[in-house]
């Protein structure tokens, strides 16, 4: 079983992915929690490059770097864990590229979908949670921390990214579920678990 969490930077998805992992482990399931970009040493090195380099990166170069990291992550971490019967939860997956580079960088959603499928063999998560957190809250959260390169792109860029996620939801309403990110951490966790149990029979 493959579950992903998506959202604009600062949406709270990382916390919610961890909470779902804990819930499932408490139910006796073997769970792998991973992240993108990352998961392997090579992919983590790409993550560090993408998020912390100070020089501008050409948008298509950015895409290929994310896809290279995803290829490593998917084939070396996600697929083996799924074959072992584990539940895999990933903090971001290919929807991030569709939203960030397709919509945010204006490279085209359809083009990003086509590119990503080459790397992940047309595989999809069974369920994806999109934490839709108001941009005013996102901006406040980001201003309280040291921002990485993507977070520094600005609130207008993140607004375009959010629109990309909304388009993904419109295209795949049976896979991608919006969760109100303005709620408390506890209420968000409750809603995610409720929606998860509605969709998946454990």
pLDDT of res. 200: 76
> Would you list the domain boundaries of the chain?
2-199
pLDDT of res. 201: 63
Cβ count within 10 A of residue 77 = 20
Label residue 24 exposed, middle or buried (CB < 10 Å: 0-12, 13-18, 19+). buried
Residue 150: alpha-carbon gap to chain centroid: 14
Compute CA distances 61 → 46, 58, 65, 149, whole Å: 12, 5, 6, 15
pLDDT of res. 131: 96
Tens digit of each residue's pLDDT, the chain (202 residues): 999 999 998 889 999 999 999 999 999 999 999 999 999 999 999 998 888 887 888 999 999 999 999 999 999 999 999 999 999 999 999 999 999 999 999 999 999 999 888 778 778 899 999 999 898 888 888 777 777 777 777 789 999 999 999 999 999 999 999 999 999 999 999 999 999 998 876 5
* CATH architecture, range 2-199: 3-Layer(aba) Sandwich (3.40)
pLDDT of res. 202: 57
Q: Which two tokens stand for residue 34?
A: 């991973």
Single pTM value for the model: 0.92
Of 74, 106, 95, 73, the C-alpha closest to 8 is 95
Q: On the CB side of 124, how many CA atoms lie within 13 Å of its CA?
A: 11
Q: What CA–CA distance (Å, rounded) separates 72 from 119?
A: 9
């Amino acid at each position: 079983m493959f579950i992903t969490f998506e959202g604009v930077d600062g949406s709270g998805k990382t916390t919610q992915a961890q909470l779902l992992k804990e819930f499932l482990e408490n139910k006796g399931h073997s769970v792998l929690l991973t992240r993108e970009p990352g998961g392997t040493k090579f992919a983590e090195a790409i993550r560090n490059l993408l998020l912390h380099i100070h020089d501008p990166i050409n948008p298509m170069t950015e895409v290929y770097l994310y896809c290279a990291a995803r290829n490593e992550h998917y084939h070396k971490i996600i697929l083996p864990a799924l074959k072992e019967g584990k539940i895999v939860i990933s903090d971001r997956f290919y929807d991030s590229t569709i939203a960030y580079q397709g919509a945010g960088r204006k490279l085209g959603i359809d083009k990003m979908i086509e590119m990503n499928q080459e790397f992940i063999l047309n595989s999809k998560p069974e369920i994806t949670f999109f934490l839709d957190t108001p941009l005013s809250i996102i901006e406040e959260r980001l201003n309280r921390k040291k921002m990485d390169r993507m977070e520094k792109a600005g609130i207008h860029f993140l607004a375009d990214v959010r629109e990309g996620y909304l388009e993904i939801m419109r295209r795949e309403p049976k896979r991608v579920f919006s969760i109100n990110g303005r709620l408390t951490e506890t209420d968000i966790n409750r809603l995610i678990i409720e929606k998860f149990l509605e969709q998946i029979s454990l």
